Amino acid sequence: MDRKASKEEKKRLKMEKFMNKKLQTVTVSEKKKKKIEIPVIEDKTIPGQRKILDICPNSFIPSYVESSWYQWWEEKGYFKPETLEEYQKVKDPYVIPIPPPNVTGKLHIGHSMMIAIQDSIARYKRMKGHPVLYIPGTDHAGIATQTVVEKKLYKEKNLKKEDLGREKFLKSVWEWKELYGNSILEQIKRMGTSVDFSRLSFTLNDMVSSAVVEAFNRFYEKGLIYRDKKLVNWCSKLKTTLSDLEVNHVILKSYEDYLVDGKKYKFGIIYAFYYKVGDEKIEVETTRPETILGDSGLCINPNDKRYMHLKGKYAINPITEEQVPIIFDEYAQMDFGSGIVKLTPAHDFNDFELGKKHKLKMIRVIDDNNKMTVGKYKGMNRFDCREEIIKDLTAKGLFVEKRKYEQTLPICSRSGDIVEPVMKDQWWMNCNEMARKALEVVESGEIELLPVEAFKTWKNWLINIRDWCLSRQLWWGHRIPAYKIESGNETEWIVARSMQEARDQADKKYKEYTINQDEDVLDTWFSSGLWPFAILGWPEETDDYKKYFPTSILETGSDILFFWVARMVMMSLELTGKIPFKQILLHGIVRDTHGRKMSKSLGNVIDPIFVIEGISLKGLNESIMTNLDKDEIKKAIEGQKKEYPNGIPQCGADALRFALCSHTSGIKDINLDVLRVEGYRRFCNKIWNSFKFVEKMIKDAGIEKIEDCDSNEEFIYWILNQRNETIKKIETCFNSFNFLLATQTIHNFILYSFCDIFIEIVKRKNTKENISILFNIFLDILRMIHPFMPFISEEIFQRLKIYKNDLCESICVDKYPEVIETKSDNFDIVIKVGKAIRSIIDGNKLRNVIFTTNNKEVIENIEFILILCKQVKEYKMVTNVNAEYIEEVDGFKIGIDQK
């Protein structure tokens, strides 16, 4: 990291620490406070029409303020990129493809983080004159969705998918998708997300499905897709191969129990035993004795002098008594155990690569049901077989001992099964050359990867890339466009764009044959990898594709940098010859306040609607009564009772969005306390009260229409300069995607510069000119907060439109504030002195004080000091400050005495 980047990182960490300290408002005792009841106000607006604003609540009521606006925005077409030119002189388009959430239920708070960040960018860019295309969609999520629906079927009807058959089962999944897919879209709308729903997509719709078939065929024609028998992650429970992302690597301590295959077995053990080489016994270690049946070699490091005499020799497998070659390769570590490694190429990924290199036999000994396939152990469960192997080794005098060993197990994230590496005939994609190109476009800066520290992970994945297994033994997904031709004893696979095309090819070679499409579906990541260009109409040269591709930015979680983001880059470069997006922006994983991963069984998965609308503890409990078993439900309810004894208060979408953006910190994981969002609801209330004050000032002054005017007063120059600095700082933050600093900047400007100082002064100096400037500054505040808080900014903007001509129809398509020319000011001395006085008064709990100073300029501005510090009842100019409380400010002194 260079000096500049290091400096920025220090600033970011300092700001994060500051914001976290400010947000430490919810303590354990506060969680037990009585729930505040928020009144309900009926909104009589007809959906799609501009909101009826006949009621003005005394305080901020999220449910009322946030009602009706989204339907009106959609009806007006504000989120369509073509619409902006009606309101502004437009610049280049700005395109954001939404990472399509899985249709496996409802969005959780982690998805909300993604939406809050993306929509703040979209709304900001739109206000800066860019026609924004923010494209919504959902992912069919093959294995995740099929698993959920299978569980539901079994729980409700005691049926397995095989009982229904493929066609009826898929019908059930589509019905489930329509139910929950729509729920996800409603959640996206309730968050205020400015996506163009006229371009809504889904990874299994006709457009994307056509792109998938075309992509598969093109890759095949280029020689990049092939069929081969290789090692895959196999889940016996789900009866399918898994991607690496669907495998959790769980660390087990020594002799720890784990429930698998219907029984508890002990893990965290390494077993030492002997192989014989002639009359010599050599010690070998393994965590998987059952795989000795499939051993086809032993490996020794070529630099290990202890075993030089074994070169060219064969060892005897202690169970099968077959000869296995002893190979020498640097893969073996001399300092681990005896330094000799047993090789089971058909059941271990590293052994598989070594087996290919040294041409060892691939002996599969465990079937798709986790049963053994050879000898007297045939039909035995793999872990029961382990125990039998140990007994047999002991009987032969070849077992040495069991030793403690911290072990990592590959666990299926969907079923909890221990994943078994097995040999399978599957479709594969050669990614080597595509990976090189994907690395090159980031290294050259053609794609900007942010934050920069993510490049190390990017590079590591791509230089160590393996061929991609595309086949999944599922029913829900894109069926592989490959057709099996059987004619007599001859079998051939034909890849084609349709069954008819495959028949046409087969007819040229065979007189009689049977043809069947591959039963398997493609890995979900294949269709997801086409997302940025498939949703714009590729492979057709549509108007959207020509105008909006490549897209501008891909904002997503750092956990799928390789599985999704890298594959999009690889596939786009290969299929379109273009990068899919110009920037990649990553955010960290959202965890609960204790740093735990979001999990239904922990009760810490929070639907954003719960935070927006509020929910009781009972409602939280009822929300988890889904596919969890009884023990998991009990555990989840206990977790909810501990964290949310009074439920979750109604906070509104704006408060949630602002809170989430204020928590962003690069690719670091985010520990989010949901109850802190309530603090930002209070911030919304502060903005609402400011609106009420501004409107009261206008009415009290008898102003019908606000006219722009100037003022020569120092405090006016000061607030205009504060406004300018805030706008410049926020612009810098958006350009660098520093949402933490952006939210803190606008938060401070509103609370301190505008509310604590400027409003207090205008209360006393309430000329029409000052009220006009107050009004215009407040309008700019609404524009500044709009990307983060779209609802309250629109609500107040519409309420203020009656006081000024020529305001834009909606704040959505209004221009973002720009820096205006103003004079410099000397008002900082008032601010600094006022701050010092307040600090002394508040810190010592004083009332009615006497203020003294030896600075003439301060006395000249005493009018403002008295406005800002109401506890000051007397003031004096003195030569020497001699007071009970003294503080130095910019080289002069001030004093405070209790009156």
- 303 membership: H or E segment, kind and range: none
pLDDT of residue 292: 98
CA distance 292 to 688: 72
Average pLDDT, the chain: 92
**What are φ and ψ of residue 280, in 5° steps?**
-90, 145
Q: DSSP secondary-structure letter at 452? A: G
Task: Write the single-letter amino acid at 151.
Answer: K
For the four alpha carbons of 406, 408, 411 and 413, in that order, the dihedral sign comes to positive
CA distance 567 to 99: 13
CA distance 90 to 105: 38
Contact between 762 and 684 (Cβ < 8 Å): no
Domain ranges (residues) in the chain: 88-224+433-460+521-587, 245-421, 481-517, 594-674, 701-813, 828-898
- 277 membership: H or E segment, kind and range: strand 269-277
pLDDT of residue 227: 98
What does the angle CA 405 – CA 406 – CA 411 come to, to the nearest 5 degrees? 125
Q: DSSP secondary-structure letter at 815? A: P
Q: Write out the CATH class of domain 245-421.
A: alpha beta
pLDDT of residue 643: 85
Looking at the predicted structure, is the pLDDT value of residue 204 above 70?
Answer: yes
Give mean pLDDT, residues 359-377: 96
Question: Using 50, 70 and 90 to split pLDDT, how confident is the model at 30?
Answer: very low
Closest CA to 97 of 568, 466, 428, 612: 568
Looking at the predicted structure, is the pLDDT value of residue 27 above 50?
Answer: no
* Cα-Cα end-to-end distance for the chain: 56
Give the pLDDT confidence of 405-437 residue by residue, as tens digits: 999 999 998 889 999 999 999 999 999 999 999
Long-range contact pairs involving 703-708 (C-beta distance under 8 Å, separation at least 24): 703/768, 703/771, 703/772, 703/803, 704/803, 705/803, 705/804, 705/805, 706/771, 706/772, 706/775, 706/776, 706/803, 706/804, 707/772, 708/772, 708/776
Fold held by 88-224+433-460+521-587: Rossmann fold (3.40.50)
Contact between 97 and 551 (Cβ < 8 Å): yes
Report pTM.
0.90
CA 478 to chain centre: 25
- 22 membership: H or E segment, kind and range: helix 3-22
Q: Among 42-46, 493-497, 831-835, which range has the highest average pLDDT?
A: 493-497
Task: Write the single-letter amino acid at 590.
Answer: V
Burial 658-689 (b: 16+ CB within 10 A, else e): bbbbbbbbbbbebebbbbbbbbbbebbbebbe
Report the C-alpha dihedral over residues 389, 390, 395, 400, rounded to 10 degrees: 140
Looking at the predicted structure, is the pLDDT value of residue 22 above 70?
Answer: no
CA distance 831 to 838: 10
Looking at the predicted structure, is the pLDDT value of residue 325 above 70?
Answer: yes
Give mean pLDDT, residues 329-345: 94
Give the pLDDT confidence of 693-732 residue by residue, as tens digits: 999 999 999 999 998 888 888 999 999 999 999 999 999 9
Give the pLDDT confidence of 592-623 residue by residue, as tens digits: 888 887 766 677 788 999 999 999 999 988 88
Contact between 120 and 134 (Cβ < 8 Å): no
Q: Write out the CATH class of domain 701-813.
A: mainly alpha
CA distance 229 to 213: 23
Looking at the predicted structure, is the pLDDT value of residue 234 above 90?
Answer: yes
